[in-house]
Amino acid sequence: MNRAAAREPLPGNPYTPQSGDVSIRVEHYDLALKYRMQNNRLSGTATLSLRATVPLTAFALDLVGLRVSKVAVRGDKQARFKQSDRKLKITLSKPVEAGAAITLEVVYEGAPRPRRSRWGTIGWEELEDGIIVASQPTGAPTWFPCNDHPADKASYRIQVSVDSNYDVVATGSLRSRRSAGGLTTWVYEEGAPTASYLVTLQIGRYRREDVQLAGVDGHLHYPTALARRVGTDLADVSRMMETFELTFGPYPFDSYAVIVTADDLEIPLEAQGMAIFGANQIDGARGQERLVAHELAHQWFGNSVGVGGWQHIWLNEGFACYAEWIWAEASGAESADQLARHYWRSLSALPQDLLLGDPGAADMFDDRVYKRGALTLHALRLTVGDSAFFEILTSWTVEKRFSVASTAEFIEHAAAVVPDAPLQELFDAWLYQLALPDLPSAVRAKVTRLLR
């Protein structure tokens, strides 16, 4: 994201209107945390470097379930704060202009817990013997004060002190680890712009295995008892990485980590530069291989190229779902076209009452968003052919790297790559009409199989 864009007000947030403050953008978070496992006690100091995007005298951060004891604004000793159940409001003693830099320190503590939402409980959650953070879409405030807007990306430094018999995996690269007095302090840093919901912290008894994934540094973290299952189910991640770099462009981050918890999880989770799976999703028989591909693909679609608002969620989930089909095709299983026609038949039997381009907050994680989003991409592929289709995807990930995007921007981008194709009619039908369109003919489009 360029400097000019970083100082513009954030876009509206209609699906989660109570989260985030569009009048500020956070540039960096420095989190210094101490966590006691035995009594679920978190204490922290968060230092935020942010910038006003409009003239302001007050702004708000999101924080849920934790109590603030101190807020200090650099250069403003008269600044005040007030906390409600969802917000931390900071009032400055004098107005600041648009573009002004603000640095503040927030000291807080409490017993973190997940927050209830229309999408279930999200955020910080205790496992049987550890911690998992799963924040999509509004769970980040359960463990640190933040501007919880999907378009507000920042860099992070995360320092966590825990009992020395536990391991910590957090967003970013591990910079240091030191032990004293029964506690070990881990420091992770993430320089790539990261949305708050994609920042994660995982605490457990993990073995770390460093691997190479088609030239990308990889790190596997898992309970020793699951070593065989992990070795089987994640054996092809390097080939997935190679396939997705061919089809989506270079992997956008410095490394890729996979965490497997000892607990079962309802669904796997993506985070910046990593994916988290439950023991039930790593079964030793590659029974959930499509999910391994799905979470890896999110590093391009959702993490590097984020969404400016949750109404554009198909740009995350539809693309990651289509990556499952691309991997199936590349690995010698069913072709993307076979899978597309299978899921088209499934969707045709379901209610036709979801608008993919604006599904509504209640339905943004509906499986029809995933499948119809993938079908939209397949319809595009069938219309323009493989060469143009993959040029659209690879140039998109390069152009929008570390930024955020909207559906309108993707339509404009595709039209610029293939100016003579009838794409407006295609996108209108798939994104903005309720009825499920027919797929174009696979024979006419000459869909080719990817390299194995």
The tokens describing 389, both together, are 């289709």
Contacts for 124 with CB less than 8 Å, ≥ 6 apart: 42, 112, 113, 114, 131, 133, 139, 142, 143, 201
Tell me if 147 sits within 8 A of 61, measured CB to CB: yes
The tokens describing 450, both together, are 């990817």
Q: Is 126 annotated as a binding residue?
A: no
Tell me if 385 sits within 8 A of 445, measured CB to CB: yes
d(CA 192, CA 189): 9
Residue among 295, 324, 329, 409 flagged as catalytic: 295
CA nearest neighbour of 423 among 396, 397, 393, 384:
384
Q: What is the side-by-side order of every strand in the sheet holding 115-117? A: 115-117, 120-127, 130-134, 201-204, 167-170
Tell me if 90 sits within 8 A of 61, measured CB to CB: yes
Q: Is 251 a catalytic residue?
A: no
Tell me if 130 sits within 8 A of 203, measured CB to CB: yes
Q: Is 317 annotated as a binding residue?
A: yes
Q: Is 295 a catalytic residue?
A: yes
Residue among 15, 27, 370, 409 flagged as catalytic: 370
Q: Is 298 annotated as a binding residue?
A: yes
The residue whose two tokens read 């101190």 is 70
Tell me if 154 sits within 8 A of 191, measured CB to CB: no
Residues annotated within the binding site for Zn(2+) are 294, 298, 317
Instruction: Cite the active site residues.
Output: 295, 370
Binding-site residues sit at: 294, 298, 317
